[in-house]
C-alpha cells in the first residue's frame, strides 16, 4: 500500500456537528476499494485521483497521537465519511485499530461508519471506549438483497454479513445504527426493500436508522455512476438524464411513499430516526464536562 504525507488526520467541527454529533473528523486512509457505484467521494471537488486505490497516511498513528494529546477539548471522533476505515487493507495495516487504541488511551468517543464485517475484530476496544465515552457503530445498508448489493457495492461485505455484524455489536451493548442511503431511483427504491431492511435491523438490535430517499450526483461521480448503469442496468441512464438532467439531488420518485412507510415502521418498532434523538440517545450518560464544552 502506498504511503502519502499528511500533516493532520483530525479536523475539528466548529461546533457539535449535526452529523451524529461528531466533534472531530478522522480520515486514516485516502481512497476506498469497496467499489460502490454511487460513491460521492469520487466527485471532482475532492480531487482524489485513483479513488479505488487505498493509500495510508505516513506516520499516521504518531501524527494522530500528537493531535489527540494537544486538543484542549475532548469529544466524539467520526470516521468513515470519505473512505471506509475498514477497507480490506486494514486487515493487515491495523491503522484503524491503532487509532481506536489511542482514542481509548486519550479518552475520546468514537463513531464509525463502515460496510465491512472487519469492524468485529475491534469490538474489544469499542467496549473499552464505551466505559468512558460515547460509541456509535453505523453500517451503511442500501438493499436487503445480497445479489443487488454485489452489483452496487461489489467489494463490500454482503448485506447479510453486515446485519450479522450489527447483531454481534448490538449484543455487546454498543449502540448501532443503519445509514439507509443512498436509495437509488428505480434500483432499490421499493417498499419491500425498505420494509425488509427495517425488519431485519430490528431483529439485529439496531437502535437507529437514518435515511435519504435519493442519491446525490456531482461531476465525475455522475459519469462513473452512469457508466455502471450502462453496464448493469441498461436503459436507466436515459431515464436519469430525462428526470434529473445535471441536478445534484436526485430524489426517488417514490420518496414520499417510502418516507411515510419508513416512519410508520420505525415508530412501530421503536427505532429512532431523527438525528437529534439519535445523538441524545447514544451520547446520554456521557454528558460530562468534556461534551458540554462543545
Ligand atoms: S464504502 Fe463508502 S467510501 Fe468506500 S466506495 Fe463505498 S461509498 Fe465510497
Q: What is the pLDDT of residues 241-284, one digit of tens each?
A: 999 999 999 999 999 999 999 999 999 999 999 999 999 999 99
Question: Which one-letter DSSP state was computed for residue 158?
Answer: P
Q: If pLDDT is split at 50, 70 and 90, which confidence band does 137 have? A: very high
- DSSP assignment, residue 215? E
Report pLDDT for 46: 86
Verify cis geometry, omega within 30 degrees of 0, for the bond prior to 182: yes
127 pLDDT tier (thresholds 50, 70, 90): very high
Cα gap 167→6, rounded to integer Å: 36
pLDDT at residue 242, as a whole number: 97
CA 252 to CA 240: how far, in whole Å? 10
Q: pLDDT, tens digit, for every residue of 52-107? A: 999 998 999 999 999 999 998 899 999 998 899 999 999 999 999 999 999 999 99
Could you tell me where the DSSP H helices lie in 14-130?
60-70, 90-93, 95-105, 123-130
The number of the ligand 1 atom at minimal distance from the alpha carbon of 114 is: 1
d(CA 211, CA 267): 14
Give distance in angstroms: CA of 264 to centre of ligand 1: 29
- Using DSSP, state whether 103 is helix, strand or coil: helix
Domains of the chain plus CATH, in order, are 3-288 (3.20.20.70)
Query: Phi and psi of 17, rounded to 5°?
Result: -70, 155
Q: Which residues, 6 or more positions from 22, have their beta carbon under 8 angstroms from its beta carbon?
A: 13, 75, 76, 77, 78, 111
| pLDDT tens digit sequence for 187-196 | 999 999 999 9
Q: Which atom of ligand 1 is nearest to the CA of 115?
A: 1
Cβ(34) – ligand 1 distance below 6 Å: yes
Reply yes or no on whether the pLDDT at 289 is more than 60. Answer: no
41 lines ligand 1 (CB under 6 A): yes
State the average pLDDT over residues 181-189.
Answer: 98
Residue 149 Cβ contacting ligand 1 at under 6 Å: no
Nearest Cα to 189, choosing from 261, 263, 81? 261
> Which pLDDT does position 16 carry in this prediction?
63
Number of the ligand 1 atom closest to the C-alpha atom of 52: 5
Mean pLDDT over residues 150-162, rounded? Answer: 98
User: At residue 76, what are phi and psi to the nearest 5 degrees?
Assistant: -95, 130
Whether pLDDT at 156 is above 70: yes
173, 183 contact by CB (below 8 A): no
**CB of 115 closer than 6 A to ligand 1?**
yes
Q: How far is the CA of 148 from the centre of ligand 1 (A)?
A: 16
pLDDT in the model for residue 291: 58
Residue nearest (by alpha carbon) to ligand 1 atom 3? 83
Question: So what's the pLDDT on residue 294?
Answer: 55
Measured in angstroms, how far is the CA atom of residue 22 from the centroid of ligand 1? 19
Measured between alpha carbons, how far is 106 from 68 in angstroms, rounded to an integer? 7
User: 242: Cβ–Cβ under 8 A, 6 or more apart, which residues?
Assistant: none
Span 18-45, mean pLDDT? Answer: 94
The grid cell for 200 is: 431485519
- Average pLDDT of the segment spanning 181-188: 98
User: What is the C-alpha to C-alpha distance for residues 76 and 82, in angstroms, rounded to an integer?
Assistant: 17
Residue 32 and residue 157: Cα distance in Å, rounded? 14
pTM over 0.85, yes/no:
yes
Residue 181: CB within 6 Å of ligand 1? no
Ligand 1 pocket, residue 55 CB under 6 Å: no
What pLDDT is attached to residue 290? 56
Q: Give the confidence band of 13 by pLDDT, cuts at 50, 70, 90.
A: confident
Q: Please list, in sequence order, all residues whose beta carbon lies within 8 angstroms of the beta carbon of residue 196, skipping any fewer than 6 positions away.
A: 144
Amino acid at each position: 500500500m502506498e504511503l502519502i504525507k499528511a500533516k493532520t488526520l483530525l479536523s475539528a467541527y466548529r461546533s457539535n456537528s449535526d452529523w451524529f454529533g461528531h466533534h472531530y473528523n478522522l480520515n486514516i486512509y485516502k481512497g476506498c476499494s469497496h467499489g460502490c457505484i454511487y460513491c460521492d467521494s469520487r466527485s471532482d471537488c475532492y480531487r482524489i485521483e485513483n479513488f479505488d486505490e487505498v493509500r495510508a497516511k505516513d506516520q499516521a498513528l504518531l501524527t494522530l497521537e500528537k493531535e489527540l494529546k494537544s486538543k484542549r477539548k475532548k469529544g466524539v471522533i467520526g470516521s468513515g465519511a470519505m473512505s471506509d476505515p475498514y477497507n480490506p487493507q486494514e486487515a493487515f495495516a491495523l491503522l484503524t485499530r491503532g487509532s481506536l487504541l489511542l482514542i481509548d488511551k486519550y479518552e475520546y468517543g468514537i463513531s464509525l461508519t463502515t460496510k465491512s464485517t472487519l469492524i468485529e475484530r475491534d469490538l474489544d476496544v469499542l467496549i473499552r471506549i464505551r466505559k468512558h465515552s460515547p460509541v456509535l457503530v453505523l453500517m451503511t445498508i442500501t438493499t436487503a438483497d445480497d445479489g443487488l448489493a454485489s452489483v452496487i457495492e461489489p467489494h463490500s461485505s454482503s448485506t447479510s454479513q453486515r446485519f450479522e455484524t450489527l447483531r454481534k455489536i448490538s449484543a455487546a451493548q454498543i449502540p448501532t445504527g443503519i445509514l439507509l442511503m443512498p436509495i437509488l431511483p428505480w434500483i432499490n427504491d421499493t417498499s419491500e426493500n425498505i420494509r425488509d431492511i427495517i425488519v431485519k435491523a430490528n431483529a439485529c438490535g439496531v437502535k437507529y436508522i437514518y435515511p435519504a430517499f435519493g442519491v446525490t450526483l456531482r461531476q465525475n461521480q455522475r459519469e462513473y455512476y452512469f457508466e455502471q448503469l450502462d453496464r448493469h442496468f441498461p436503459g436507466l441512464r436515459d431515464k436519469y438524464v430525462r428526470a434529473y438532467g445535471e441536478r445534484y439531488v436526485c430524489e426517488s420518485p417514490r420518496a414520499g411513499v417510502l418516507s411515510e412507510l419508513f416512519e410508520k415502521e420505525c415508530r412501530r418498532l421503536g427505532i429512532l430516526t431523527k438525528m437529534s434523538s439519535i445523538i441524545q440517545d447514544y451520547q446520554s450518560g456521557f454528558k460530562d464536562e468534556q461534551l458540554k464544552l462543545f
